[in-house]
Each structure stands twice: as C-alpha cells, then as structure tokens.
Amino acid sequence: MAAQALPLLRWGRTASSLRALSCPAAAPRILFSSLRRPAAARCEAGSKVMLKGMDYPELENWVQEQGFRPGQAMMLWKCLYGNNVWAHCHDELAGLNKDFKKMISEHSYLKALTVKDILTASDGTRKILFSLEDGPVIETVIIPCDRGRTTVCVSSQVGCAMNCQFCFTGRMGLRKHLSTAEIVEQAVFARRLFSDEFGSITNVVFMGMGEPLHNIDNVLKASAIMVDEQGLHFSPRKVTVSTSGLVPQLKRFLHESKCALAVSLNATTDEVRNWIMPINRKYNLDLLLGTLREELRFKKNYKVLFEYVMLSGVNDSMDDAKRLIELVQGIPCKINLISFNPHSGSQFKPTPDEKIIEFRNVLIQAGLVVFVRLSRGDDQMAACGQLGEPGDYQLPLLRVPEKFQVAL
C-alpha cells in the first residue's frame, strides 16, 4: 500500500483560476503578524500592513485611524472575504470610493501567499504548494466529496515540533509559525480556485502541516475570521481544529473558540503513546482525557472528535478497542479511524481493511459513534500524515519498544 508516484496532472486553467492569478505583480511585500505590531496602528510613511492579518474590529479601527468611516471597513471586509470577491489585489476592490481605494493601495497588502504548484491526485484531491514571502513552502489540500461537501485542509506551521513517529511533517521539526494572514489565505485561495469546479467549499480542517494549538494565537484569530458571518461565513461546526494534546492550549481553545475540536489519540496506553506521540510524556492520557471530560461538562451539544490512526501490530488489537471504549467513557465524542498512509519517513504499516472494520464493530457495539476515514490523495503525498518536505535535516526516529519491533 506504499504511495505510488503518478505522472503529475496539471491544474486546468479555467476562467476562475486565471482570474485567481491575474493580479498584477505587487512590489516586494512585508508581512506583519498581529504579534509584531498593533494591526490598527496608523500607517507611517512607507509602511504597509497585511489586511488579512486583522480581525474585523482591528480592520475597522485601522480604517478609522486612516481617517475613513467605519462603514467603509465593512465594504473592504466583504471585498476580502464575502460577496464571492476574495480580493487578492487592489484592482479587485470593486465598489470602494477612489480616495479609500488609493489609501488601501498605498498602505496595505492584500495577499500573503503565492501559488507555487497545484498537484492533482487520481481521486480528484488537489494539493496546493504555497510559497511564503520569506521562502518556505507550505501545503494545503482540497478534498472534494460526492455528498456535496468540499473540505480545505489548512496548515498552521512550516513543519512541526511534535515529532509524532507516523507523520511525515513531524520529520521536519518546527521551521516557522504561520501568521494569521498566511492561515486565512489558504481558505481564501481554496474558494477562489475551486468554487467553480467543486461548488461551495463547506468545511475547513486544521489538519495540515503543524500542530495548530502550538500556534494558538494565530489559529484562534484565523478560525474566527473564517466563521465571521459577514466574511467567509463557514459554520463553526464545520471548522475543526486538531491537536496532538497540548492540554493548556486545549483548555483555552474550548473557552475561546466556537469551532470544533479534534484530538489525535492514536494509542490506548501511555507506553505506546509516549513512543509514537512524544507530547504524551508531558500531557499523558489521564491528564488529556480528564481535562476533556471536565471541560466538556460546560459545553452543551458539543462532541470532540477523536482521531485514531491505525498502525498494524501497534495499536489495532481487540484489546486496544476495548481499552479505547473505557478511555472515552464520559466524554461526548465521535471517533475517526484513519488508515495509516505510508511514507519514506516511517517504518509503520497500515492495518488491513478487514481488521479496521472488526475494530470499528467492537466500538459500535459499545454504543460509540465511529467513522472510517478513507485515504484521499495518497498518490500525490496529499493524504493524512504525508504533507511536507523534511529535507536534509530531520528529527530523529525514537527507539522502538522491544515488543513492537516485530510489527515494524
């Protein structure tokens, strides 16, 4: 089941895709994250701000600081995120008065990412490679579905510090946190490039490169922009932020965000999780699950999604299934069983399909809500756990516990 490289299928140049890349080249850009300077500060001579790094109150404040009415901020906001405009250059700011548009052109940037390439997998999944202003490349995946749902899987970091042993991105180590603008723009590009082809982009999952809650300030801000009713207007239930289990940040997320939470569990004992997910050594299963059990008491009609990557001979026994049932008792939840997607950075093997079904049936018989997530885009390294490019420097693989050496 190793990923097979297919000939690259180039993205078709439809009218919408040509429009998406038709903005005139801008002058060299400087990216300003919310952490580097107050977004609403008055522009000094020669300085520019990145508009997609602001939430709406910051944008409104910035517009007023420049001497314009608050109502014009809403018109600008809708050019950036609403009304099917998704502006990436100043020529696309239709409906704004001349002086306001001139000020925006002189004092702001509208685009944080540049499309480097788009790869098409045999199942129709698309992987977009974006170049950042300072050089690194990130990957975003668009997953169309026959049931009228199209999902964009966004990245939150370049690389990842968590070093999960089954994840290709984890081999990179952490290179950079993405800014709010760099995160939001992945969803904006998804709509610009693929709405005509796939219909509405309905779901966002923070399951691309990186540990989202390790970059929590920018992720909280970006996800809030995505669900803004006057902007991208995704349903909060359809924006899912995934974490490997950073407990303090997880608690903050549950208190501050309306969006859905997914937790990568992937093991039923601390021994296994300490090995395959080193974050467990700091926040073990008792602490992680106890925190969820406590916090979700105060959130009505809210269910956490547990993600469970099936690794042959490691976490897929019937004893694991029974322990999983016990572990999630008292936690409103759904469970996603995910087939491991092989890559060159890991020795793990995928659990056979028939054993995944057997595992699922044990959970269902105990009354749990269970889904099996099919691999999408694995022939272009676009599937779960396959994103990134480790390069020459890679984090070390951890020692395999003796009793699992045969399985690998």
H or E segment at 243? Answer: strand 239-243
Between CA 58 and CA 38 the distance in angstroms is 9
Q: Is residue 83 predicted with pLDDT exceeding 90?
A: no
Residue 384 among the catalytic residues: yes
Stretch 357-371: mean pLDDT, rounded? Answer: 98
Residue 153 lies in a domain: yes
In the chain, % of residues over pLDDT 70: 88
The share of the chain scoring above pLDDT 90, in percent, equals 72
Decide if pLDDT at 3 tops 50. Answer: no
Number of domains in the chain: 2
pLDDT of 69 reads: 96
pLDDT, position 382:
72
Residue 127 lies in a domain: yes
Say whether both 102 and 133 belong to one domain: no
Residue 375's pLDDT is 79
Q: Is 151 found in the same domain as 86?
A: no
pLDDT digits (tens, 9 = 90+) for 149-163: 999 999 999 999 999
**341 vs 277, which has greater pLDDT?**
277
Q: What's the confidence (pLDDT) of residue 39?
A: 37
Q: What is the pTM of this model?
A: 0.87
Taking residues 141-149, what's their average pLDDT? 88
Same domain, 136 and 155: yes
Same domain, 92 and 214: no
pLDDT tens, residue by residue, 58-77: 999 999 999 999 999 999 99
Residue 74 belongs to domain spanning: 49-109
- Selecting among 58, 60, 79, 139, the annotated active-site residue is 139
Name which of 235, 231, 229 is nearest 184 in CA terms.
231
- pLDDT at position 4, please? 35
The model's pLDDT over 128-139, given as tens digits with 9 standing for 90+, comes to 999 999 999 999
Query: Would the pLDDT of 10 be above 70?
Result: no
89 catalytic, yes or no? no
- Whether residue 83 contacts residue 192, with contact meaning beta carbons closer than 8 Å, is answered with no
As a whole number of angstroms, the distance between CA 185 and CA 76 comes to 16
Annotate 187-212 with b (16+ C-beta within 10 A) or e (fewer).
Answer: bbbbbbbbbebbeebebbbbbbbbbb
- pLDDT recorded at residue 44: 43
pLDDT in tens, 203-245: 999 999 999 999 999 999 999 999 999 989 999 999 999 999 9
Same domain, 87 and 161: no
pLDDT, mean over the chain: 87
For residue range 31-63, what is the model confidence (pLDDT) as tens digits? 323 333 333 333 344 489 999 999 999 999 999
Considering the domain architecture, whether residues 211 and 305 belong to the same structural domain is answered as yes
The Cα–Cα gap between 31 and 35 comes to 11
- Which CATH number do you get for residue 153? 3.20.20.70
- Segment 325-334 mean pLDDT: 97
Long-range contacts of 29-33 (CB under 8 A, 24+ apart): 29/109, 29/111, 29/112, 29/133, 30/109, 30/133, 31/109, 31/112, 31/133, 31/134, 31/179, 31/181, 31/182, 33/179, 33/180, 33/181, 33/218
Q: Are residues 241 and 363 in the same domain?
A: yes
Residues 229 and 276 in one domain: yes
Helix (H) or strand (E) holding 326: helix 318-327
Residue 161 and residue 285 in one domain? yes
**Of 86, 109, 132, which residue is a domain's last?**
109
Those residues whose C-beta lies under 8 Å from the C-beta of residue 255, and which sit 6 or more positions away, are none
Please state, in angstroms and rounded to a whole number, the distance separating the CA atoms of residues 394 and 388: 12
Q: Band of the pLDDT at 23, cuts 50, 70, 90?
A: low
pLDDT in tens, 249-267: 999 999 999 999 999 999 9
Q: Which residue has the tokens 């056979």?
A: 352
The three-state DSSP-derived secondary structure of 158-207 is EEECCCCCCCCHHHHEEEEECCHHHHHHHHHHHHHHHHHHHCCCCEEEEC
Choice among 83-92, 173-182, 306-315, 329-338 with the minimum mean pLDDT: 83-92
Residue 23 forms part of a structural domain: no
H-type alpha helices, 210-312: 216-227, 247-256, 270-276, 285-295
Q: Are residues 397 and 269 in the same domain?
A: yes
Domain with residue 100: its CATH number is 1.10.150.530
Judged against a pLDDT cut of 60, whether residue 24 lies above it is answered with no
Residues 370 and 292 in one domain: yes
Does residue 38 lie within any of the structural domains? no
Angle at 74 between CA 70 and CA 75, to 5 degrees: 110
